[in-house]
Chain A
């Protein structure tokens, strides 16, 4: 079971992602953030649960949908929002934008907009840790679509062969842009992809932070002990459309009924209920946290809007 301190930490990670994403969706309409945004609403518990198990020196690599991974790894909110506004103060000095959040100071080693593209980078970071006897681990986050890329399988093979400290984390939201999972592969069985390489695979409810946390903790112990990589498939759902500030039920990709079900399965509501049940974090404490986070977000937008324009780097 989770202790109260961890629960508070978990909740703060969940809400900073949710409230920031909602603020981005709202502000996006002003057309001042001139870059595509892929929002993580609905998927917060995966990054939050995994990051809870990571040290500051552990590294993560991400995708085009990287806001949650950055914030969950204790990324700097002000620098993230500045990056979305293309400002010099951004975490990539305004040169990367929403899809390329990076902050080596917190172990966020970058995000690739090429599906599957950052998976081998995490394996390379893990190889580096192993070669220099550093006790850290590397986590590539990727979606279900990335599991169709060759480089995913090449990376699993290499990491298993060299017994590298990698936790492969697939956020399976069952859709790649607008293509449903079962239109792209014969079965919904991503956690089994490591089997032929001897990689333990776990399937977990990605909207249940406590399950993600428990699984990631086991995975970290396994990977850090020299036994090699682990694959976690976290089943989740993106509430918003593939890109932009709206949901996409009207496109016919998914029904309103399905969407409503997942909206009810909200990872934050789920965790709040868990906290109530286990007496971990009271509603009044949560309310205080939400308010202070809202203020922090408001300030981040003000700072970003007032920031300096990006410049070329030498």
Chain B
């Protein structure tokens, strides 16, 4: 057992990729800028230094072909890792991801696997605007044949990445730029976290708070604030949208009878809508209050920082949502002053 060190989220990703590549010669990386000095915020740097440009390939700006080249290599037994500095570029590769990666195993009668990992980063803040900030997990989770993970901590990032690189399906890993600098103890040795297994990030008994990605960090802050009001919040991080650990969510909901779901993406037709529906289908009568959801409004991401501040829900929105379930008649509209999260405050340009 090696010593546990403190690693940032991005360093955990960097280490996981390096360790996976050391253990499996079939793994290689493709993406625009994976070999440059920054190495996608340092997440491909160690792999590039260890294996060079033959296995960490700076790809042309051909998102669709690169995804298809990944599929072709994957069905020949390789494990491509494709990296996009922003989620939004995945939209150029939807044909290859949805029509090919997600279907080749099925269309071969189960004979050929397509083990590919696609990493994509959600931008937020500092004017990322409408085409650098989309959180597209629901789009991919809608499609059979794809797995979708959203690591929310450095520990999870490493374990989920390593698990994805042993999985035989295509996995989309949606990372959040605001999480890259968070840190915690991360074991040095390689370990995996099963895909589709959620995690109780904080135990509680009054309200279940299901949160994804960056909203887990916000949910934990909200839970601490609510503890001072004697409201005990259980924070569940499903860690994957597909497959979704409904057992864990339902177990918690049956205990608390109240649910808030906080997603990094739009509320409409999104993961929060799906989870709410499944809860209603399974245990409507065990609920003590309607389900509350936190997500983005039906609006594109503005650049201007004042509008950006209004656009993204935060700790206070979660606190209010929880209070509305536990104290429906309590008028606490400005109980908590909106505060900028520490991660957000640290975030400066140009990225």
Binds A, one of B7-15, B61-69, B332-340: B61-69
A59 to B, closest residue via Cβ = B76
Residue numbers in A under 8 Å from B100 (CB-CB): 112, 114, 117-118, 121
* A102-B107 in contact given A120-B67, A127-B73 (Cβ < 8 Å): yes
| B70 and A124 within 8 A (CB) | yes
Q: Which residues of B contact A125 (CB under 8 A)?
A: 72-73, 75-76
In the complex, A96 has a CB within 8 A of chain B = yes
Please tell me which stretch of A147-155, A225-233, A241-249, A256-264 contacts chain B, meaning at least 4 of its Cβ atoms lie within 8 angstroms of it. Answer: A147-155
**Complex interface bits, B3-43 against A, C-beta within 8 A gives 1, otherwise 0:** 00000000000000000000000001000000000000000
**With A117-B95, A128-B77 given, is the CB distance from A157 to B108 under 8 Å?**
no
Q: Is B110 an interface residue (CB 8 A)?
A: yes
Contact of A120 among B28, B77, B96, B108 (CB under 8 A): B96
Is B107 touching A96 in the complex (CB atoms < 8 A)?
yes
CA–CA, A161 to B59, complex, Å?
A: 10
A196 within 8 A of B: no
Count how many chain A residues have C-beta atoms less than 8 Å from C-beta atoms of the other chain.
40
* Residue B346 interfacial (CB < 8 Å): no
* CB-CB under 8 A for A92 and B78, given A121-B71, A124-B72, A161-B60: no
Partner of A151, one of B55, B70, B96: B96
Give which listed residue, A59, A91, A114, A161, contacts B109 with CB less than 8 A. A91
Nearest chain A residue, comparing its CB with the CB of B109:
A93
- In terms of DSSP, what is the predominant structure of the interface of chain B? helix
Min Cβ gap A226→B in Å is: 15
B221–chain A nearest beta-carbon distance, Å:
42
Please report the C-alpha to C-alpha distance between residue A104 and residue B77 in the assembled complex, in whole angstroms.
12
* B300 CB contacts on chain A under 8 angstroms: none
Q: Does B99 contact A (CB under 8 A)?
A: yes
Cα of A125 to Cα of B72 in the assembled complex, Å: 5
A110: Cβ under 8 A from any B Cβ: yes
**Residue in A96, A110, A120 with the greatest tally of chain B CB atoms within 10 Å:** A120
A314 close to chain B: CB less than 8 A? yes
- Give the distance to chain A from B326, nearest Cβ to Cβ, in Å: 44
CA distance A99 to B197 in the complex (A): 36
Known A121-B72, A124-B73: A92·B62 in contact at CB below 8 Å: no
Whole-angstrom distance between the alpha carbons of A157 and B59 in the complex?
A: 11
Q: CB-defined interface of A269-286 with B at 8 Å, one 1/0 digit per residue?
A: 000000000000000000
Pull 30 A–B residue pairs with CB atoms less than 8 Å apart, ordered by A: A61-B72, A90-B109, A92-B107, A95-B106, A95-B109, A96-B109, A102-B111, A104-B75, A109-B75, A109-B112, A118-B68, A119-B65, A121-B68, A121-B69, A121-B100, A122-B72, A123-B68, A123-B72, A127-B73, A131-B55, A131-B78, A154-B60, A154-B66, A155-B62, A155-B65, A158-B59, A158-B60, A158-B66, A161-B60, A313-B106
8 more A-B residue pairs beyond the given contacts A117-B100, A123-B69, A125-B73, with a C-beta to C-beta distance below 8 A:
A92-B109, A110-B107, A121-B75, A121-B100, A124-B75, A127-B69, A151-B65, A157-B62
